Amino acid sequence: MARKSFRQAVNEAISQEMARDPRVIVMGEDIAGGMGAPGEDDAWGGPLGVTKGLMPQFGRERVLDTPITESGFIGAAAGAALTGLRPIADLMFVDFMGVCFDQIFNQAAKFKYMFGGKARTPLVIRTMYGAGFRAASQHSQCLYPLFTHVPGLKVVIPSSPYEAKGLMIAAIRDDDPVIFFEHKMLYDVEDEVPDEPYTLPFGEANLTREGEDLTIVALGRMVTLANEAADRLGGQGISCTVIDPRTTSPLDIETILEEVRATGRLVVVDEASPRCNMATDISAQVAERAFEALRAPIRMVSPPHTPVPFSPALEDLYVPDVEKIIQAARTAMAAGGRKAA
């Protein structure tokens, strides 16, 4: 086993599945780079180099550079999935997803249901999300709540290199369309990642910390921040459970409810815009099903309801950070009654 970056972990997952299953193909803009033009092949490997090395290994037949027409190649990928391939389409930035909503929302998500359960759509759409990259409002959003909203899609948000490899292999082997969210700020994070293939289950939350006073639910890049907040709070006598749901569709609400019932207090950390995001969804489900267990109001840590600012100073203020999580935890601890004995 070796330390690998998040970028390497995703690349290794795709490479191992391509080697195992000839039906797995990769397609997207600049996914290899240089197609149709003189010059260096495999020059890009995707906008941030995640798919670099796949084209020389598996060839142009299976690693396809596409034109800049998301509506075209996402539709082609959905059709290829329906007819027997297992495509991994790279949509670069989730912010661009709008131009192919019909292909995703009305076609890929619905095939299984509209063809009487006989159709399978083993499609993975990889996409980058998240702020902190100084990439301004059209390249920094966290649009996973939109996809979580649509039945028929699975939505995966890995929080570390280890999680990314296991969840990507599970996504490729899944027979339903999966939207796979990669946070740009995680690509260079390193972690122990097994060389062998392995899978992580969808709909099964991971407890990264176990405590007694407070439950923190966090997604994607926010998991690392929540862990750091929990460690610092632990030093101050507040012991926290941290839950990484791994997937928002399916969502392991049962584990969240179980932990809230054990601790009586909940903080949800979500980098997505604050209206109709995962924090509001999880909070509503907990309020409906475990209200009696809550000792204090649920606290949500989300950015303000504004486009992601381009000014670095403002962007830093915009994104949830460890301090904000600690503040929310302290507020939750100060409010309400003591835990029932």
Partner 1 sequence: MAGLRALVMPKMGLAMTEGMVAAWRKAPGEPVAAGEDVADIETSKITAGYESPATGSLRRQVVKPGVMVPVGTLIGVIDDGTADDAEIDAFIAARQAAFVPAAEAASVPAPVRVATEIGPVQVLEAGPQEAAPLVLIHGFGGDLNNWLFLQPLLAARFRTFAIDLPGHGGSTKTLPGGNFAALARAVAAFLRARGIGPAHLVGHSLGGAVALALAPQSLSLSLISPAGLGAEINMDYISGFIAARRAREMQAVLAMLFADPALIGRDMVEGVLRYKRLDGVAAALQAIAAANFANGRQNTSLRATLAAIRVPTLVVWGEADRIIPAAHADALPASVRVVRFPETGHMAQMERAADLARHILDIAGM
Alpha-carbon span 280 to 122, nearest angstrom: 30
Residues of span 210-249 touching partner 1 by CB under 8 A: 210
Q: Is 175 in the site for partner 1 (CB under 8 A)?
A: no
Task: Specify the stretch interacting with partner 1 by CB under 8 A; choose among 34-42, 66-74, 189-197, 260-268.
Answer: 189-197
From the list 198, 200, 104, the residue with the least C-alpha distance to 144 is 104
- The residue range among 57-65, 143-151, 196-204, 264-272 that interacts with partner 1, by the rule CB under 8 A, is 196-204
Interacting span for partner 1 (CB under 8 A) from 143-151, 198-206, 277-285, 301-309: 198-206
Return d(Cα 71, Cα 126) in angstroms, integer: 15
Q: Give least dist CB 238 to partner 1, A.
A: 17
In the block, tokens 């990669």 appear at 182
Contact range with partner 1 by CB under 8 A, out of 91-99, 127-135, 203-211, 263-271: 203-211
With both helix axes pointing from N to C terminus, report the angle between 278-290 and 253-263 in degrees, rounded to the nearest 10.
60
Residues that bind partner 1 (rule: CB under 8 A) add up to a total of 13
> What separation in angstroms does the CA of 186 have from each of 162, 163, 341?
12, 12, 41
Q: Which is nearer to partner 1, 27 or 223 (CB)?
A: 223
Rounded Cα distance between 20 and 25, Å, is 12
Does 93 engage in binding with partner 1 (CB under 8 A)? no
Compute the least distance from the CB of residue 247 to partner 1, in Å.
Answer: 15
Whether the CB-CB separation of 233 and 325 falls below 8 Å is answered with: no
In the complex with partner 1, which residue's Cβ is closer, 197 or 274?
197
Task: Give yes or no for a cis peptide into 250 (omega within 30° of 0).
Answer: yes
Least spacing, CB of residue 62 vs partner 1, in Å: 21
Query: Counting contacts by CB under 8 A, is residue 204 touching partner 1?
Result: yes
Give least dist CB 218 to partner 1, A.
17
Q: Mind telling me the catalytic residues?
A: 139
Per-residue mark of binding to partner 1, 154-173 (x: CB under 8 A): --------x---x-------
Phi-psi domain of 302 (left: phi exceeds 0; alpha: psi -120 through 50; beta: other): beta
Which lies closer to partner 1 via its Cβ, residue 207 or residue 317? 207
- Contact flag: residue 181 with partner 1 (CB under 8 A): no
b/e code 115-126 from CB counts within 10 Å (16+ = b) = eeeeebbbbbbb
The binder of partner 1 chosen from 82, 168, 200, 329 (CB under 8 A): 200
Contact window for partner 1 (CB under 8 A) among 38-46, 194-202, 273-281, 298-306: 194-202
In this complex, which beta carbon is closest to partner 1, that of residue 3 or of residue 60?
Answer: 3
Per-residue DSSP letter, 155: E
Please identify which residue in 53, 197, 234, 297 interacts with partner 1, judged by CB under 8 A: 197
Q: Does 198 bind partner 1 (CB under 8 A)?
A: yes
User: Which of 194, 203, 274, 297 is the binder for partner 1 (CB under 8 A)?
Assistant: 194
CA end-to-end span of the chain: 44
Radius of gyration of the chain (CA): 20
Whole-angstrom Cα distance, residue 318 to residue 307? 9
Single out the residue of 58, 57, 66, 79 nearest to residue 28, CA to CA: 66
Q: Please give the residue ranges that form the binding site for partner 1 (CB under 8 A).
A: 1, 162, 166, 194, 196-201, 204, 207, 210
